Amino acid sequence: MEETVSSIKDRQRAAARARLEKEMSERATAARKRRQRQAIIGSALAIVVIAGVAFFVVQAMKDDDSTEAAAPGASTAASTPASAKPAPAGTAACTWTPEEATPGGSLVKDTGGLPPEFAPNTGKATLTMDTSLGKIVAAVDKSKSPCTAAAFEYLASKNFWDNTKCHRLTTEGIKVLQCGDPTATGDGYRPTDGTGGPNFKFGEENLPTTAQGSLYPAGTLAMAKMRDPGTTGSQFFLVYEDIPAEALPPQYTILGSITSGLDIVKKVAQGGTDDANQPGDGHPKTEINIKDLTLAAA
């Protein structure tokens, strides 16, 4: 009997993990198609560039036949490309990949721009999420996740999360409340909840490295993403109970840890889920809405 129960729990944990990784598979497919189109365009541009370089080399060789060689010590250095600029002291270079809405795929909320190219990688910050059930506060260390913190500061300045629902609750295997989808608004839930994000993606950072125990202990504030790397956006999850190491891989950025309000998340968890996705995985029955979210220096 114990083996049967254990087997059921193992399957539930595996299913919950698979659901978390596959939640936005449509967006991943759309993103791959877009990258393929970009690759084709890039290949065509590369051919043009190579042809141009070949023409330049031929002309330069012709010029060498009729002119003297450059004097020793003459400067031949080219200017440093903007993308290769070293990050100023106290900052980290961040790469923001533009994201576009795709039919049947990503639901993008345009912010009208991108976060700054360089983000402070020192200092502490406080994330405050004012919800319909009270305030949830988390401590953020910018030295560990500078680009994620910069993304939050930018999106918060655009009121990105205001009046959105925490759209997903899991109570089997992975114990998390997931929020951050800008399309999860209004009355009730839609089939598309969980596929929304901003007009950019960025890479993962501050991944857990503990070999044993829980990689994501209770109180962790971490970022959701798609299967492929570099697909972190605006969605995040609040861990209300230690997640077993085998239930969730160390692929999700840890932004901070909850310092107050974890009881609110646990209250939502106690209310259960409507099992919209599968048993133990769906919309929280106890609705929780984000009224305002800020990230400020601690």
Integer distance in angstroms from the first to the last C-alpha of the chain?
A: 51
123 by Cβ neighbours in 10 Å (0-12 / 13-18 / 19+) ranks as middle
Give the mean pLDDT of 98-102.
81
Give the mean pLDDT of 71-90.
50
Whose tokens are 């839930």? That residue is 189
2-34+88-297 to CATH, choices 1.10.8.640, 2.40.100.10, 3.20.20.140, 3.30.1540.10: 2.40.100.10
CA 106 to chain centre: 14
Q: Nearest Cα to 212, choosing from 237, 246, 189, 185?
A: 246
Residue 193: predicted pLDDT? 73
Q: Which two tokens stand for residue 145?
A: 């996740």
Which comes out higher in pLDDT, residue 19 or 53?
19
Residue 69: predicted pLDDT? 26
Which of the residue ranges 77-91, 178-192, 273-287 has the most confident prediction, judged by mean pLDDT?
Answer: 273-287
Whose tokens are 């133990």? That residue is 280
Residue 34: predicted pLDDT? 52
Q: Residue 56 in 3-state DSSP? A: helix
Residue 53: predicted pLDDT? 35
Q: Provide the whole-model pTM.
A: 0.73
Taking all residues of the chain, what is their mean pLDDT, rounded to a whole number? Answer: 79
Residue 260's pLDDT band, with cuts at 50, 70 and 90, is very high
| CA atoms within 13 A of residue 130's CA, in its CB half-sphere | 9
Rounded Cα distance, 266 and 61, in Å:
73
pLDDT tens-digit readout, 159-190: 999 999 999 999 998 999 999 999 988 666 66
Question: Rounded to whole angstroms, what are the CA distances from 128 to 136, 161, 286, 294?
Answer: 6, 12, 20, 5
What's 144's DSSP letter?
A: T
Of 26-35, 171-180, 238-247, the least confident: 26-35
Q: Which two tokens stand for residue 272?
A: 């259960």
pLDDT tens-digit readout, 188-223: 666 667 789 999 999 999 999 876 678 999 999 999
Which comes out higher in pLDDT, residue 226 or 59?
226
Give the mean pLDDT of 23-50.
46
Domains of the chain by residue range: 2-34+88-297
